Amino acid sequence: MKKTSFQEQPSFSGFSRQYVKFLHNLNANNNREWFAEHRNEYIEYLLEPTKRLVSALTPVMRELDPDVNTIPHRVVSRIYRDVRFSADKTPYRSRLWFAFRREVNRWTETPTYFFQIEETQYLFGMGMYAASPATMRCFREMIDDDPKRFAEIIEPIRKNRKFKLEKEKYKRPLPSEHPAAIDAWYQCKTIALLARREPDKTLFSPKIVNLLIDQFVLLKPLYDFLWQATVLR
C-alpha cells in the first residue's frame, strides 16, 4: 500500500482543549437539563471534530479495507445512552468513539479499527469486541499451520511498543508449544490491541491524523490475518 501523506488528507486541526472541560462538567451534571443547556458545546468540541477526524482518515481507511464503512454519522457513536440495556442509568456517555468496520450483522465478532476520546485519556487500536469461539479456533489453527508467518506479523507491533494486548484468557491454559511471544496471543478468548494516551499536544493538533494513519497501517497485516480467521464473513 502506498503511504498517504498528511498533505493529501482533508484538513483536521485537532480537538479543542475545551472538550476536556465539557466532559468534566458532564460527568458532574449527567442529566437532561444540564445537557440541553450545553448541547452546543457537545457539538462544537466533540461531535463535529470527531466527524472531521473520520473524514480526514477516510482515504487511508478505504485503502486499508475498501469494505469498511466510513460515513461519519454511521461510524461515530451516540452520546445518548440506551439505559434499557445498561446498568448505568445516567442518560449520557462521558466519551465518544468511532469504529471503522464492515457492515455485517454481528460486527462485534469481526476485526474493527477504533478511536475513543474521554476526559482523561484517548485510545485507539484494532481488535474484536467479542470474537466467536469458532473464529478463535480458526485463529489458533492458522498460527499452528504457520507460526513463522504469525511471528512476522506481530513483530513490528512488539517493536512499536505503543500497543498493549488487552485480552481475556481461558480459565485453563490451552496446550501450546509456541514461544511466549506467540503463546500470549494463542491464549486469547478475544483480541484487542489498545494504545492509551493522556490528552496531549498531538490530540490538540493536526498530528493526530498522521498518528492514527501510521498506527492503523502498522496493524493492517494483523487485521487481514484476523479477517482470514473470522468465521462470520
Is residue 5 domain-resident?
no
Is residue 173 domain-resident?
yes
- If pLDDT is split at 50, 70 and 90, which confidence band does 5 have? very low
Is residue 208 domain-resident?
yes
Strands 122-127 and 112-118: antiparallel
Is residue 4 domain-resident?
no
C-alpha cell, 109: 465478532
Note down the domain range covering 108: 12-229
How much is the pTM? 0.90
Is residue 147 domain-resident?
yes
Which residue's entry shows cell 469458532?
Answer: 134
The whole-chain average pLDDT of the chain stands at 91
- If pLDDT is split at 50, 70 and 90, which confidence band does 4 have? very low
What burial class does residue 122 get, using C-beta atoms within 10 Å of its C-beta: 0-12 exposed, 13-18 middle, 19+ buried? buried
Query: Any alpha helices (H) in the chain, and if so which ranges?
Result: 18-28, 32-42, 48-64, 72-75, 133-145, 147-160, 180-186, 207-218, 220-229
Is residue 1 domain-resident?
no
Contacts of 22 (CB under 8 A, 6+ apart): 38, 41, 42, 45, 46
Q: What average pLDDT does range 125-147 have in this prediction?
A: 94
Is residue 50 domain-resident?
yes
- If pLDDT is split at 50, 70 and 90, which confidence band does 109 have? confident
**Of the listed ranges 51-55, 148-152, 167-171, the one predicted with least confidence:** 167-171
Q: What average pLDDT does range 164-177 have in this prediction?
A: 87
User: What CA–CA distance (Å, rounded) separates 168 from 172?
Assistant: 12
**pLDDT of amino acid 232:** 67
3-state secondary structure at position 112: strand
Residue 145: is its pLDDT beyond 80?
yes
**pLDDT of amino acid 6:** 39
Is residue 105 domain-resident?
yes
How many domains would you assign to the chain?
1
**pLDDT of amino acid 7:** 42
CATH of the domain at 78: 3.30.930.20
Residue 1: is its pLDDT beyond 70?
no
What burial class does residue 110 get, using C-beta atoms within 10 Å of its C-beta: 0-12 exposed, 13-18 middle, 19+ buried? buried
Bridge partners, 124 (sequence order): 115, 195
User: What CA–CA distance (Å, rounded) separates 1 from 15?
Assistant: 28
**Of the listed ranges 146-155, 159-168, 199-208, the one predicted with least confidence:** 159-168
